[in-house]
């Protein structure tokens, strides 16, 4: 074969390039770019696998002989037409290189949808898991070094491929790796002294225009506590929406965590627990000391008749009882 661009090595390195750009897009929550580049990467890696077996497996099943003559080195042609992604995957399944997987077919369809301005993804579709699993299968078929292929994205690929982790734990672990990547990109080339200042400013109570402690916005009463970010070790915010007050939730408090430096977030109890935040962790002051909420802390809201003392007292008693029950469960 005279065309090096269709060699399995050239197709392999092209697939790797798009795999890395897909992972970078996923880290930045660029869904369209991720699905587009992931689909291109899978197609090129599939064609690399076919080409390694025989370059003639890249031929379309119909059309002229121009590509055949080109691959055979008989006569070069300016426009080489190779098999499409769907047919390439079908051939690899016949060869035993890939298992039948409708999710992989869906990933290719989504890629096509992005290209034709018809991007749509079902909420439950885990494109990253499909991408990593298919890529790993083709890497194994090519008998090449998996760590070399994934490079700096090996950590996320390992986490995604792990079947031992629960879905929420796997997603949190991936989010931590993505946050570390974003922060690494942001701080690349920044002097060490400046990095210390960036960390200090991000962890201060002035960041993003709000401090720690009790606050109210649009009728929602919350308490923000400093917590170490599991991704970058900066000080982030654990925000608790106080129940039974204003527009707060009924029953148990709802919580979420956000780091202003690396943008790691945990948005529900499953993610918080997977990130290392215990169910009994609620309120700390700006120094990290535990705080017990009292009616006096709501004085300014009571003075402006936004709340009444009786409502606050009942809500805090209920909150204390729930917190005590949570601590008992942790102790057990």
pLDDT digits (tens, 9 = 90+) for 302-318: 999 899 999 999 989 88
Residue with tokens 């369809």: 109
**Confidence class of residue 295 from pLDDT cuts 50, 70 and 90?**
very high
Contacts of 167 (CB under 8 A, 6+ apart): none
DSSP SS3 for 65: coil
DSSP class of 284? B
- pTM equals 0.71
**Confidence class of residue 300 from pLDDT cuts 50, 70 and 90?**
very high
Predicted local distance difference test score (pLDDT) of residue 330: 42
**Confidence class of residue 54 from pLDDT cuts 50, 70 and 90?**
confident
Summarize pLDDT for 124-174 with one digit per residue, the tens. 789 999 999 999 999 999 999 999 999 999 999 999 988 766 778 888 999
As a whole number of angstroms, the distance between CA 53 and CA 4 comes to: 15
Q: Residue 309 is inside which H or E element, if any?
A: helix 309-331
- CB pairs under 8 A, 24+ apart, for 6-9? 6/47, 6/51, 6/55, 6/58, 6/71, 6/80, 6/82, 7/51, 7/55, 8/48, 8/49, 8/51, 8/52, 8/142, 9/48
130: nearest Cα among 155, 98, 152: 98
Residue with tokens 């699993």: 133
Task: Give the angle 315-250-323 at the CA atoms, nearest 5°.
Answer: 55
Supply 102's token pair: 């409708």
Q: What is the mean pLDDT of residues 255-273?
A: 92
Q: Are 286 and 220 in contact (CB under 8 A)?
A: no
Contacts of 236 (CB under 8 A, 6+ apart): 203, 226, 227, 228, 229, 257, 258, 259, 260, 261, 264
The residue length of the chain stands at 332
The total of other beta-carbon atoms located within 10 Å of residue 79's CB is 7
């Amino acid at each position: 074969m005279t065309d090096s661009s269709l060699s399995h090595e050239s197709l392999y390195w092209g697939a790797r390039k798009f795999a890395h750009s897909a992972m970078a897009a996923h880290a930045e929550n660029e869904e369209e770019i991720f699905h587009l580049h992931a689909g291109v990467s899978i197609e090129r890696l599939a064609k690399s696998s076919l080409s390694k077996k025989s370059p003639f497996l890249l031929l379309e099943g119909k059309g002229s002989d121009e590509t055949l003559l080109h691959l055979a080195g008989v006569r070069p042609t300016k426009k080489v037409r190779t098999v499409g992604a769907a047919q390439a995957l079908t051939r690899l399944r016949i060869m035993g290189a890939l298992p039948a997987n409708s999710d992989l077919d869906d990933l290719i369809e989504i890629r096509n949808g992005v290209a034709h301005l018809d991007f749509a993804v079902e909420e439950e579709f885990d494109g990253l898991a499909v991408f990593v699993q298919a890529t790993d299968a083709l890497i194994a078929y090519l008998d090449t070094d998996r760590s070399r292929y994934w490079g700096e994205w090996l950590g996320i690929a390992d986490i995604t491929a792990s079947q031992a982790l629960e879905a929420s734990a796997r997603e949190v672990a991936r989010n931590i790796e993505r946050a570390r990547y974003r922060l690494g990109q942001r701080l690349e080339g920044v002097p060490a002294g400046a990095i210390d200042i960036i960390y200090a400013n991000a962890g201060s109570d002035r960041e993003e225009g709000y401090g720690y402690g009790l606050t109210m916005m649009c009728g929602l009463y919350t308490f923000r506590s400093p917590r170490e970010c599991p991704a970058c070790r900066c000080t982030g915010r654990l925000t608790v929406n106080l129940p039974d007050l204003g527009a707060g939730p009924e029953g148990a408090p709802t919580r979420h965590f956000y780091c202003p430096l690396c943008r790691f977030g945990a948005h529900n109890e499953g993610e918080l627990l997977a990130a290392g935040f215990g169910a009994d962790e609620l309120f700390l002051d700006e120094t990290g000391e535990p705080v017990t909420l009292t009616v006096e802390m709501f004085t300014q809201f009571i003075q402006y008749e936004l709340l009444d003392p009786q409502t606050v007292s009942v809500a805090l008693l209920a909150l204390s009882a729930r917190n005590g029950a949570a601590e008992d469960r942790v102790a057990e």
